[in-house]
């Protein structure tokens, strides 16, 4: 009799133990699976699980928004994602309208933006990081200002360019050169900052190794430091350019939003870009133009994703182990 | 014959005096070891011998350091030229993020050497650094694929490739295991036939094993400021320093009583 009771109790104990074990297992599973490789077998208290849950939730929310955005745009625009969109000029009848000048305009403006910004931004970053004397007050002021400029709203750069072009006596401000100038100003601080970051991540020992061989500071820069920093600079610059690609505000200030029915053909040519074209079409009353805008958005998204993919490929390919 | 002579050398970092009053002769085709406790200024002194200290903000040298009779801190002397003649191997192996071949060819290329055959030059440098047999089949591979000891020998080969007169080594084995350390020490014995070597080491046994002459440094606190400044206590043949030091502080350090 007594033995029976004991057995029962044992069973019960076993059961609750099993349950506890199972719970523990699940907890461990969640924790170790999610922080795999970092803190394996570490903390599995209730607190850390809640924390992890919050992290997952944040990720889920961000991801959900992105997916929603892409899916709804695709649903809205896929009917007009055809050859006409790429090959045709804008027209008053939506079924015949396309974004050809906008696509070409976007590419041209971004191309010139890259041409203006990269040499200037990289050179400035190299000077600030490798050659300037950080103890001097004026260099510190420059540094601080570059940081602040990176956070200035894009429309301010549009206004600045507008003012500059007016001062230079340019009447027609809706030209490729103007747009590229505004976007260059916009992303120049970003390019300077990513250049500095990339150079800073090159260990000092690499520079010393080169200098100790009798290389000059310039040789050290061009043969050692800068090549080692190229992946970082390229990745950051591409991300900056893709930001410029999606900008509409500074270009609108410069008088964009004109009905462009020709291909841009140079720095002084009129132009429109994809964001401006999309903005234009969404403002039309006809439903068909809204579909067209969605289709152009898909195109823009595709371009942006492609640029970011290139950035990722460069980063992975040239990633250095120190 | 002495190659490098320092006379009454003080090295400062801004207002801080790291080492003071160093006078010593470094002889040709010998290995000279600088030993002493941490903070005694031996690395600082080493780095001022090829003007690598110029790269530190606010660092400067008083007294004179001559190389083959010429003041290396003289007004007409180019620090770049000094570093070409006096090479340096660092504490942590620091190969460039390039192939093994390009690591060696880097130096000759930047200083404008025009070897008739770069391949031969690379092979020669790697052979002298006792690394050729291990890497000859993977010259085009990244130098980061090598082990720590191999990387350090690669750095030595890289230094040799520009044909310096003197090689400075700043604790070259402190990041290596005993086997790799032994190989580097053997290599140093080979290299001293053609080069003058100055090595900073924390490892007294290493100094005793490889060095012909040993300089013992220690740090003395300043009575007024309390800052510790490195001084040269004793400089003599390694045998004398380790067997019959004339200064009590040297004997205490050697016998492990402090430091």
Return the H-helix or E-strand segment holding B210. Answer: helix B204-210
Task: Pick the residue from chain A with its C-alpha nearest to B105.
Answer: A213
Average pLDDT over residues A258-283: 84
Please tell me which of the candidates B55, B88, B110 has its beta carbon nearest to residue A219: B110
Q: Which candidate in B47, B96, B112, B113 is best for mutational testing of the A interface (most A CBs within 10 A)? A: B96
Cβ of residue B88 closer than 8 Å to a chain A Cβ = yes
Report residue B257 as tokens. 């009583």
Q: Considering only CB atoms, which chain A residues are within 8 Å of B52? A: 208, 211-212
> Would residue A254 count as lying in a domain?
yes
CATH code of the domain containing A166: 1.10.3720.10
Q: Is the pLDDT of residue A2 over 50?
A: no
Hey, are the CB atoms on A212 and B90 less than 8 Å from each other? yes
Q: Residue A169 is part of which domain span?
A: 78-318
User: How do the domains of chain B map onto residue ranges?
Assistant: 2-92+166-254
Q: Is the pLDDT of residue A287 over 90?
A: no
Q: Is the pLDDT of residue B259 over 80?
A: no
pLDDT at position A266, please?
81
Q: How far is CA B26 from the centre of its chain?
A: 12
- The set of residues, in sequence order, having a beta carbon less than 8 Å from that of A40 and lying 6+ positions away, is A32
More confident position, B74 or A11: B74
pLDDT at position A237, please?
94
Q: Is the pLDDT of residue A277 over 60?
A: yes
A4 — pLDDT class (breaks 50, 70, 90): low
Please tell me which of the candidates B55, B110, B155 has its beta carbon nearest to residue A214: B110
Average pLDDT over residues A112-132: 94
pLDDT at position B170, please?
93
The number of domains in chain A is 1
The number of beta carbons lying within 10 Å of the beta carbon of residue A95 is 10
Gap from B249 CA to chain A (nearest CA, Å) = 34
Of A9-18, A264-273, B167-176, where does mean pLDDT reach its minimum?
A: A9-18
Q: Is the pLDDT of residue A17 over 60?
A: no
pLDDT at position A322, please?
46
Classify residue A171 by its DSSP letter.
S
Pick from A321, A186, A164: nearest CA to A244? A186
> Would residue A58 count as lying in a domain?
no
Residue count of chain A, please give it: 322
Pick from B144, B160, B132: nearest CA to B95? B144
In CATH terms, the fold of domain B2-92+166-254 is Rossmann fold (3.40.50)
> Would residue A215 count as lying in a domain?
yes
Please tell me which of the candidates A206, A215, A219 has its beta carbon nearest to residue B94: A206
Task: Pick the residue from chain A with its C-alpha nearest to B109.
Answer: A215
Hey, are the CB atoms on A213 and B55 less than 8 Å from each other? no
Strand order in the sheet with B2-13: B70-71, B59-67, B2-13, B16-27, B228-237, B213-221, B31-35, B196-200, B166-170, B86-89
- The set of residues, in sequence order, having a beta carbon less than 8 Å from that of B88 and lying 6+ positions away, is A208, A212, B47, B50, B52, B159, B167, B168, B169, B170
pLDDT at position A1, please?
44
Hey, are the CB atoms on B90 and A205 less than 8 Å from each other? yes
Cβ of residue B96 closer than 8 Å to a chain A Cβ = yes
pLDDT at position A321, please?
52
* Beta-strand pair B196-200/B166-170: parallel
> Would residue A268 count as lying in a domain?
yes
Over chain A, what is the mean pLDDT?
A: 84
Calculate what percentage of chain A has a pLDDT beyond 90. Answer: 45
A258 — pLDDT class (breaks 50, 70, 90): low
pLDDT at position A159, please?
94
Residue-wise pLDDT for A34-45, tens only, equals 444 444 455 668
Residue-wise pLDDT for A301-310, tens only, equals 999 999 999 8
Gap from A133 CA to chain B (nearest CA, Å) = 9
């Amino acid at each position: 009799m007594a033995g029976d009771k004991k057995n029962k109790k044992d069973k019960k104990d076993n059961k609750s133990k099993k349950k506890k074990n199972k719970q523990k297992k699940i907890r461990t599973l969640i924790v170790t699976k999610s922080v795999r490789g970092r803190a394996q077998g570490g903390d599995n208290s209730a607190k850390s699980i809640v924390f992890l849950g919050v992290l997952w939730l944040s990720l889920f929310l961000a991801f959900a928004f992105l997916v929603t955005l892409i899916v709804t745009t695709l649903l809205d625009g896929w009917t007009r994602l055809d050859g006409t969109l790429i090959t045709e000029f804008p027209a008053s009848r939506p079924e015949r309208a396309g974004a050809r000048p906008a696509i070409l305009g976007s590419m041209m403006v971004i191309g010139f933006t890259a041409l203006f910004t990269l040499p200037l931004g990289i050179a400035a970053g190299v000077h600030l990081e490798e050659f300037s004397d950080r103890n001097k007050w004026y260099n510190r002021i420059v540094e601080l200002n570059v940081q602040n400029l990176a956070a200035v709203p894009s429309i301010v750069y549009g206004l600045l360019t507008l003012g500059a072009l007016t001062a230079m006596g340019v009447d027609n401000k809706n030209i490729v050169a103007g747009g590229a100038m505004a976007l260059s100003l916009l992303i120049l601080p970003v390019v300077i900052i990513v250049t500095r970051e990339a150079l800073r991540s090159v260990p000092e020992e690499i520079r010393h190794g080169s200098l100790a061989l009798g290389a000059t500071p310039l040789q050290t820069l061009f043969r050692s430091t800068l090549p080692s920093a190229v992946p970082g600079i390229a990745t950051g610059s591409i991300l900056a350019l893709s930001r410029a690609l999606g900008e509409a505000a500074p270009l609108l200030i410069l008088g964009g939003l004109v009905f462009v029915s020709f291909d841009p053909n140079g720095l002084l040519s009129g132009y429109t870009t994809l964001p401006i074209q999309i903005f234009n079409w969404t403002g039309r009353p006809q439903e068909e133009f809204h579909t067209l805008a969605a289709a152009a958005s898909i195109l823009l998204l595709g371009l942006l994703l492609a640029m970011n993919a290139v950035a990722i490929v460069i980063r992975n390919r040239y990633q250095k182990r120190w | 014959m002495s190659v490098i002579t320092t006379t009454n050398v003080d090295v400062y970092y801004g207002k801080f005096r790291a080492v003071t009053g160093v006078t010593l002769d470094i002889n040709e085709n010998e290995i000279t070891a600088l030993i002493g406790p941490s903070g005694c200024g031996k690395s600082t002194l080493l780095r001022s011998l090829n003007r690598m200290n110029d790269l530190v903000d606010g660092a400067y040298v008083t007294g004179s350091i001559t190389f083959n009779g010429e003041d290396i801190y003289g007004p007409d002397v180019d620090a770049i030229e000094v570093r070409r003649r006096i090479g340096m191997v660092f504490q942590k192996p620091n190969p460039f993020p390039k192939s093994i071949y390009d690591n060696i060819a880097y130096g000759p290329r930047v200083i404008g050497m025009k070897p008739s055959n770069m391949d031969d030059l690379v092979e020669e440098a790697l052979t002298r650094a006792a690394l050729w047999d291990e890497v000859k089949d993977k010259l085009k591979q990244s130098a980061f694929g090598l082990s720590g000891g191999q990387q350090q020998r690669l750095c030595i080969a890289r230094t040799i490739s520009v044909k310096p007169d003197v090689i400075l080594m700043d604790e070259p084995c402190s990041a290596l295991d005993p086997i790799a350390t032994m190989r580097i020490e053997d290599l140093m014995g080979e290299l001293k036939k053609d080069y003058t070597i100055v090595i900073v080491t924390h490892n007294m046994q290493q100094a005793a094993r490889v060095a012909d002459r040993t300089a013992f440094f220690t740090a003395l606190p300043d009575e007024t400021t309390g800052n510790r400044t490195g001084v040269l206590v004793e400089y003599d043949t390694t045998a004398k320093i380790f067997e019959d030091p004339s200064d009590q502080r040297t004997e205490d350090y050697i016998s492990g009583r402090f430091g």
